[in-house]
Amino acid sequence: MIKSLDIKELFSSVLGDAFHEYELPPPSFTIMQCEIIAFDKEKETLTTKIPVLKEWLNPYSTMQGGMIIAAIDNALGPLSLLIAPKNMTRNIESKLIKAITMDVKYIYVTASLYEAKKRRLIFDVLVKDVEENLYATARVTNYII
């Protein structure tokens, strides 16, 4: 079993007193029942574990594309907050590769900083299952506010 990290403890240890400036965990993170299961400050990566719930399904009984994008954003957001000044998502370019059914049970979303130039941050994101099957990828551009 993969153990989740305590989100308040993680953010408090990285952000210090600035921790109190944010609503943590964010409501979207809580609603989707996300858990941070890995964070590597040196490698600038973060992985979340998110259940595949009936509420996220489309008429084909697969995870709705917008919910997959929300899952991507719920890994990217915490990472961007932990490694960069205040920033916002500007563009998400995604590729949905394989349908996610309830048989998958959980998706694991790993966000990694690809590049940082001036006010622009570029992230790569992978959506996999516990067996490392790839379901989606994304390249995300954020701008430092």
Question: What is the residue range of 61's domain?
Answer: 7-144
- Assign 3 a pLDDT band (cuts: 50, 70, 90): confident
CATH number at residue 72: 3.10.129.10
In a domain, 109, yes or no: yes
Q: What is the pLDDT of residue 7?
A: 87
- Assign 1 a pLDDT band (cuts: 50, 70, 90): low
In a domain, 1, yes or no: no
The pLDDT tens digits for 56-113 are 999 999 999 999 999 999 999 999 999 999 999 999 999 999 999 999 999 999 999 9
Contact between 70 and 26 under an 8 Å Cβ cutoff? The reply is no
Spatial separation of the C-alpha atoms in residues 12 and 18, rounded to whole Å:
8
Instruction: Tell me how many domains the chain contains.
Output: 1
CA 38 → CA 41, 67, 92, distances in Å? 10, 21, 22
The arithmetic mean of pLDDT across residues 47-57, rounded, is 97
pLDDT of residue 2 exceeding 80: no
pTM assigned to the model = 0.95
The pLDDT tens digits for 111-141 are 999 999 999 999 999 999 999 999 999 999 9
pLDDT of residue 45 exceeding 80: yes
Residues in contact with 98: Cβ distance below 8 Å, sequence separation at least 6, in sequence order: 133, 134, 135, 136
